[in-house]
Amino acid sequence: GEDVEQSLFLSVREGDSSVINCTYTDSSSTYLYWYKQEPGAGLQLLTYIFSNMDMKQDQRLTVLLNKKDKHLSLRIADTQTGDSAIYFCAEIITSGTYKYIFGTGTRLKVLA
């Protein structure tokens, strides 16, 4: 099946690190993405990782991929109030026709 699961809520204090987790079920995924949705806005691509990579770092963002466990995580260092948003992981399955599967989204609340 093609399911991407995330925990629904995460609350952290400003300055702490946030870790948002995602599990996926389709091992044929070539690319995995993290998107951010701010209130009242569309989704914005944050970062992505190729399935042959274990880790990718991009400024305050670190993406970790464990292909064996089909687990993806997004770590935000020094979390700021502006990071409060919904974060979606997504996979684009490219075997046959393309399918874009998004997770349920994790609502991150940053407390001042």
Partner 1 sequence: DSGVTQTPKHLITATGQRVTLRCSPRSGDLSVYWYQQSLDQGLQFLIQYYNGEERAKGNILERFSAQQFPDLHSELNLSSLELGDSALYFCASSEGTGGLLEQYFGPGTRLTVT
Residues near partner 1 (CB under 8 A) are: 31, 40-45, 48, 88, 92, 94, 97-105
96 or 112, CB closer to partner 1?
96
CA gap 81, 104 in Å, rounded: 22
- CB of 1 or CB of 68, closer to partner 1: 1
Q: How far is the CB of 102 from partner 1 (least distance, A)?
A: 4
Distance between the two ends of the chain, CA-based, in angstroms? 40
When computed from its CA atoms, the radius of gyration of the chain, rounded to whole angstroms, is 14
Beta carbon nearer to partner 1, 97 or 112: 97
Task: Please report, as a single letter, which amino acid is at residue 1.
Answer: G
Token pair for residue 54?
A: 């274990």
Q: How far is the CB of 98 from partner 1 (least distance, A)?
A: 4
DSSP 82: G
Phi, psi of 77 (to 5 degrees): -80, 150
Residue 48 C-beta: closest distance to partner 1, Å: 7
Considering the complex, state which of residue 51 and residue 84 has its C-beta at the smaller distance from partner 1: 51
